[in-house]
């Protein structure tokens, strides 16, 4: 009897209160060949691309590792990435070459798109700009996002963003000039997008009722039971783990079991005693963990192959109360005296959140490996140093194996001649499976990638 095979795009379906819900499946043995190196039908395991972006740059003297190569030691700022160090390459000594007209604006556009920014009439703002070309997530999505349910997934963590200086500072993902893909900051809305079908409230009501927001698992239970009767013992265990993960996310979104409240009342925990008057304390790490688990499931279930996480925006007013900061991060980068220990502590905390994202992907098995094995994530910021607005010696982290395209274990590569940051973006795009001969425009145009981080 031939082994039971499942198409990678199989989903479980059902209804809740007359509303259709669906649940994509995790990577199961039945979806892969005998040794787990390809899908059962012979196609390659999909590769993915992600962006993790934070505002305000870093303190370079505590960011750059002191040694290079595969045995490098993580710097103080990068220490949280120790749990996934084998998956991490650090690139230093490079520069954004797309122009430096306006610090944070120029850096954000250059490092996210490899193209110059578009300056716009300020209209009373200190400055205003937008992207001239798609950001790299959308470059990837145009090539590898066509067959997944969602071309790309955009999420955000800190809501303390600068919304008054054009799309550059307000959004991460762009399709082109004044054409952003806004990040979703509410994890319950991300959950609904992934596992529902775009449910809308009944006429005359503000939101969905508690009864309608039952667990998605309740709606697909019949399909689950039918599938369990056909798969192997190992796949039953994997399916149960997946269902437990979904239930766990649901429970964390609501804070109590089983049913989810209307999205308008689902808020991340707010600590008492807000700092800075109306600037309430954002629970950044818990938000990151929730969004990371949702992203990991979306990738594992092949709902999308491209994602971006805007952890914090350029010139943000995020207050990192977790490290005892009491003012917004952008102001802190300019005003903190000395060697800026609080700014450095904010970077360490941010890298812990990047580590949480990587661990979430690593924890999901896929074929003979895990989801992080088949993903390339680029992490960077809008400037190299927030106080100096510099675009040289730019902070760049690349995580994941990229389906074997990227070096494992990762390396620290330091450029000796201020190479173009676009070469790293080019490598990440190639790791996601894109076949290109050049990338970028203007000063960001390159025809070679950063081969030092490639396998």
- 123-153 pLDDT, tens digit per residue, is 999 999 999 999 999 999 999 999 898 999 9
Give the integer Cα–Cα distance in Å for 242 and 250: 12
Residues 6+ apart with CB under 8 A from 77: 58, 59, 62, 63, 344, 347, 348, 351
Mean pLDDT of 429-451: 97
Give the integer Cα–Cα distance in Å for 287 and 148: 25
- pLDDT tens-place string over residues 33-85: 877 777 766 678 899 999 999 999 999 999 999 999 999 999 999 999 999 99
Give the integer Cα–Cα distance in Å for 16 and 209: 12
pLDDT score of 272? 30
Classify 217 as helix, strand or coil: helix
Written as six digits, the tokens of 218 are: 């309740």
With a cut of 80, say whether residue 183 has pLDDT above it.
yes
Mean pLDDT of 12-21: 72
Model confidence, pTM: 0.83
Give me the torsion for CA of 427, 408, 349, 283, rounded to 10°: 80
In 3D space, the residue among 331, 359, 366, 357 whose CA is nearest the CA of residue 346 turns out to be 331
- pLDDT tens-place string over residues 189-202: 898 888 764 444 33
pLDDT score of 3? 59
Give a three-class secondary structure readout of 36-96: CCCECCCCCCCCEEEEEEECCECCHHHHCCCCCECCCCCCCCCHHHHHHHHHEEEEECCEC
pLDDT score of 258? 33
Q: Do residues 147 and 140 touch, judged by C-beta distance below 8 A? A: no
> What single DSSP character describes residue 320?
-
Q: How many CB atoms sit inside 10 A of residue 229's CB?
A: 7
């Amino acid at each position: 009897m031939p082994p039971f095979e499942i198409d990678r795009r199989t989903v479980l379906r059902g209804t809740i209160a007359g509303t259709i819900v669906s649940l994509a499946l995790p990577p199961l043995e039945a979806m892969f060949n005998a040794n787990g190196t390809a899908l059962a039908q012979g196609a390659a395991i999909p590769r993915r691309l992600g962006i993790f972006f934070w505002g305000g740059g870093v303190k370079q003297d505590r960011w750059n590792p002191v040694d290079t190569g595969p045995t490098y030691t993580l710097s103080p700022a990068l220490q949280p990435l120790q749990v996934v160090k084998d998956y991490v390459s650090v690139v230093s000594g490079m520069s954004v070459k797309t122009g430096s007209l306006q610090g944070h604006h120029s850096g954000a556009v250059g490092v996210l798109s490899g193209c110059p920014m578009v300056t716009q009439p300020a209209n009373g703002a200190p400055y205003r700009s937008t992207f001239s070309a798609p950001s790299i997530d959308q470059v990837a999505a145009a090539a590898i996002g066509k067959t997944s349910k969602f071309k790309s997934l955009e999420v955000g963590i800190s809501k303390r963003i600068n919304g008054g200086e054009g799309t550059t500072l307000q959004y991460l993902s762009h399709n082109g000039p004044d054409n952003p893909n806004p990040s979703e900051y509410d994890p319950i809305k991300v959950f609904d997008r992934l596992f529902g079908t775009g449910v809308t409230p009944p006429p005359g009501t503000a939101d969905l009722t508690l009864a309608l927001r039952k667990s998605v698992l309740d709606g697909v239970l019949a399909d689950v039971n039918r599938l369990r009767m056909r798969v192997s013992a190992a796949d039953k265990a994997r399916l149960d783990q997946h269902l437990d993960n979904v239930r766990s996310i649901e429970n964390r979104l609501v804070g109590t079991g089983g049913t989810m409240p209307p999205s308008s009342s689902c808020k991340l925990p707010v600590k008492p005693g807000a700092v800075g008057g109306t600037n309430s304390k954002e629970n950044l790490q818990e938000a990151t963990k929730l969004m990371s688990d949702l992203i990991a499931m979306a990738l594992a279930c092949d709902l999308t192959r491209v994602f971006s996480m805007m952890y914090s925006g350029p010139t943000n007013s995020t207050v990192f109360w977790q490290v005892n900061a009491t003012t917004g991060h952008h102001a802190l980068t300019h005003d903190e005296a000395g060697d800026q220990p609080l700014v450095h502590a904010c970077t360490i905390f941010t890298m812990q959140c990047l580590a949480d994202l990587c661990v979430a992907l690593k924890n999901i098995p896929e074929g003979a490996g895990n989801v992080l094995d088949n993903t390339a994530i680029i992490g960077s910021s809008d400037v190299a140093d927030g106080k100096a607005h510099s675009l040289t010696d730019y902070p760049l982290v690349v995580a994941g194996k990229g389906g074997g395209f990227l070096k494992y274990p990762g390396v620290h590569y330091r450029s000796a001649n201020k190479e173009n940051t676009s070469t790293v973006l080019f490598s990440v795009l190639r790791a996601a499976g894109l076949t290109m001969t050049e990338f970028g425009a203007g000063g960001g145009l390159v025809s070679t990638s950063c081969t030092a981080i490639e396998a």
